[in-house]
Structure 1
């Protein structure tokens, strides 16, 4: 970046900024003399992800935006204007940029290399103190933004999964309701055929016994695909031999309820040949309606279960005080919320729960945030077809939860740093580096313990919380 000439009134411009308003002019003049002055044209980058950060940058005039890529999406983290200080500051550990800063208009910056920070400390305590205070404010603001980004990323994943999970039963209800409508509207003709077939009350009772016996047996019916196909073929042959119209539809419905060709022969013996087609179509219609109503009921129960899981997960009806919490409830609702991610990678889930483990004293919503972060990390670390084990067990005065995966593991040199804010082992743009920091803070808040045991093929996070 070419160096621009410094304007004569640069000291007066700098003194107008809040950070420097109380700093002696001679200290500010030293900073100006030791710094370079740059112009960034509209659209130019002040910094990009991965760039080494060696300068403190004071925005003398202009405006720029910070953008970061997360999960394949570009997020705007804020627009910063005249007077803002970015880049590295005294005592900061920043080494590389994690986002990009793009000038929105011609932007002039005063840039001081970090090699001058030691001299700054010796020359002006007031200037150093003002910049350190600015760094503290920036860390607080940035941490707040990253916490929010982490929550939004987690919410986005949960929302995508829930949309998928809710779509399946909702689509089934719509589809079955439409089929039910068609079935009901085809009833008059079938009813007319039944009324004119002239069977006795005794025959009707015998047919009803067969029909409702099949309805009662249906929930416990367990046929292999081969067994069902054999019965279907036998019934189809029987129906075609008896010139029954719509044999395929009847045989499909009857096969779902475990009917056999032998039972069709039994029905023929009861009613004779003439009313047989009407009887079979009436039975098919009744069984179809039973199946459709049961599928609608199952789909609605699935939606109800998901809504209940959302409520349990968010604990939106709970207060803000510590209370006894059953970790199993939170783990189950979290796994329900993340079911779509598990299915998406064909992850085998093993739930090894000790149901007799006592409750812990805590905030249920915060504990669910722990389970979410750790399980999402485990899923991300595993290849398709991986294995996730969620285990609970009592350990003296604690209840412990293991989240175990068979992914690639965490490198040994990174294991001591994973709970640091902003540290991530994920590629740039795929993680905020705040997930495990959030987990550690919540565990500490609950006076619990968290440990890690990781090697390729087996990573286990163990969390232990005091019993209630």
Structure 2
């Protein structure tokens, strides 16, 4: 291969003086990489500049125990260590898709190149700038897609339970309304006076509309046994089913006695069966109403969270709404976390961009949850307070903490303490950009093992 001719085919290098290209060739190592072999792997030090003269490579990253193709390095690509780059180690596998030829220059020669070969150095610095822009754009897109994937999975999980409850309860209600012919005959043959009907229905609707006392399992089982014994003693059919439903609505043995006194013996089975039907119907309707309300609340939270029906401009907004909506969005990850809200009463509205600020809450809360992953006691505390002309929002977790030696780096672009595939290092940088640049606020960190606090300071009026 005529290496000089190959280098001159590269757009970035075609105007570089020939003697500088010859210096590059004379000081480079040549590599023949077979199909399936790697040019570099995750963890390898980035200490050489690579130029692909023949062949191409796929970049593969391991995420959640699966390999994902994240890019491609084609013929004539300049990659690896570049002048003034701060990259330290590779994050992906560069696997050859075909037999390839590559030259590499050790970074130990960069000082000589920078001193003596200006045009060549300029090309590589421009290549680094382009790579940073492309990498940042791709990482931002990946971060958004990852956040969207998490959000979608959480919403699917949260919607599944109430939607399944609606389906289940509606089917049970349909069955209940199709009562058997024998039960229907018994109901329409009931003959009691208006006074007796009023006595029964008054108690019935008092129980339906009343506040039912919370009972533990032992108390509930004991009361069910008492009611079942009473029903059995009075020859009432399906005593086990009736007792379970009656207990749910706070019916006591005294209530059963009151019903019995108002009902002729020949009508008792029919009346108690009818009461059971009413209670079961009320219970199913209540379940459907509750599940439907949960779905409606979740959809409303999504709309408010994204502010998809509002213009992207600062408006006076209740901070608590965004915080609560964020907790709703992340509820699927908070099942075993104790959430404490120390919200200040009468907190004034702040002039904010609601949707970007919700991304701040999402990043901080999501990071807090991840930090508590291996903790036995998990507590997330969110506090709000007015201090002068500012609002202070504190998000505290009982996680492992952030080591002091890296606390001054956590807002740097691409810095992350998470494993490969679990974070891009863009989250906290975005937090700082949204708070400092868009809202003219500030972000503060306090951290020690078992306690990490991020404090967001926002001006109340538009800066």
TM-score (norm 1): 0.95
Q: Distance in 1 between matches of 2:207 and 2:251?
A: 8
Match of 2:443 in 1: 450
Q: Distance in 2 between matches of 1:361 and 1:103?
A: 53
Match of 2:315 in 1: 323
SS of aligned partner of 1:275: helix
Q: Distance in 1 between matches of 2:28 and 2:182?
A: 93
Gaps spanning 5+ residues in structure 2: where?
none
SS of aligned partner of 1:426: coil
Range with greater deviation from structure 2 (442-451 or 202-211): 202-211
SS of aligned partner of 2:145: helix
Match of 2:147 in 1: 154
Match of 2:337 in 1: 347
Match of 1:286 in 2: 278
Q: Alpha-carbon deviation of 1:267? A: 1.2
Q: Alpha-carbon deviation of 1:428? A: 3.3
Q: Distance in 2 between matches of 1:339 and 1:318?
A: 25
Deviations 1:1-20 (A, max 9, x none): xxxxxx2x211111111211
SS of aligned partner of 2:266: coil
Is 1:260 the counterpart of 2:239? The answer is no
Match of 1:375 in 2: 365
Distance 1:18 1:189, change over 3 A: farther
Range with greater deviation from structure 2 (70-79 or 412-421): 70-79
Name which of 88, 96, 105 aligns with 2:98.
105
SS of aligned partner of 2:265: coil
Q: Distance in 1 between matches of 2:317 and 2:22?
A: 60
RMSD across aligned positions (CA): 1.5
**Do 1:77 and 1:145's aligned partners in 2 also have CA atoms closer than 8 Å?**
no
Q: Alpha-carbon deviation of 1:361? A: 2.5
Range with greater deviation from structure 2 (206-215 or 425-434): 425-434
**Count of aligned pairs:** 458
Q: Distance in 1 between matches of 2:427 and 2:257?
A: 66
Name which of 304, 310, 317 aligns with 2:296.
304
Deviations 1:192-234 (A, max 9, x none): 21222322222222221121121111x4443343332222111
Name which of 88, 92, 110 aligns with 1:95.
88
**Do 1:63 and 1:80's aligned partners in 2 also have CA atoms closer than 8 Å?**
yes
Match of 1:422 in 2: 414
SS of aligned partner of 1:267: helix
TM-score (norm 2): 0.96
Deviations 1:166-196 (A, max 9, x none): 1111111111111101101116542321222
**Do 1:72 and 1:429's aligned partners in 2 also have CA atoms closer than 8 Å?**
no
SS of aligned partner of 1:334: helix
**Do 1:65 and 1:79's aligned partners in 2 also have CA atoms closer than 8 Å?**
yes
Gaps spanning 5+ residues in structure 1: where?
1-6
SS of aligned partner of 2:59: strand
Q: Distance in 2 between matches of 1:341 and 1:33?
A: 57
